[in-house]
Amino acid sequence: MADKSGTKEPEGILVERVQTGVRLEKRLLKVLKGLAEYHDMTLGDLIEGIVLHAFDGKHPFSHETRQRIADLKAIYRLDLDSSASHRLLEKTPVRRPAARKQRAQERGGK
């Protein structure tokens, strides 16, 4: 299908989306939500776009968007960068259901 300028619009790609329970650093999530709102898109759409660009080795953001990210990082006091990605620790460790189930089985429970 062509748009008003006569150029062909890209075809939509039918996908199946699933609900997930991803845990993120609180301030990082605030920046992502702010960026999604700035671009009038859902948080899920933003994350999908970031990941697809990263998988292709491409930078997902324009210079203007990187400036908005810097502004949002300042607003939400996000002082983390990529060097922190493998060093983040939880204040309180989260007990995962699978680990509880395994421990119960080891004790002879359900």
Give the number of residues written for the chain: 110
What tens digit of pLDDT does each residue of 19-66 get? 999 999 999 999 999 999 999 999 999 999 999 999 999 999 999 999
Mean predicted lDDT score pLDDT of the chain: 88
98 lies in some domain: no
87 lies in some domain: no
**How many folded domains does the chain comprise?**
1
C-alpha distances (whole Å) from 96 to each of 4, 6, 88, 90 are 52, 53, 18, 13
48 lies in some domain: yes
The model's pTM is 0.73
61/66 Cα distance (integer angstroms): 6
| Structural domain of 51 | 25-79
Which whole number is the average pLDDT over 79-85?
94
46 lies in some domain: yes
Range scoring the smallest mean pLDDT among 4-8, 37-41, 89-93: 4-8
56 lies in some domain: yes
Which whole number is the average pLDDT over 71-82?
97
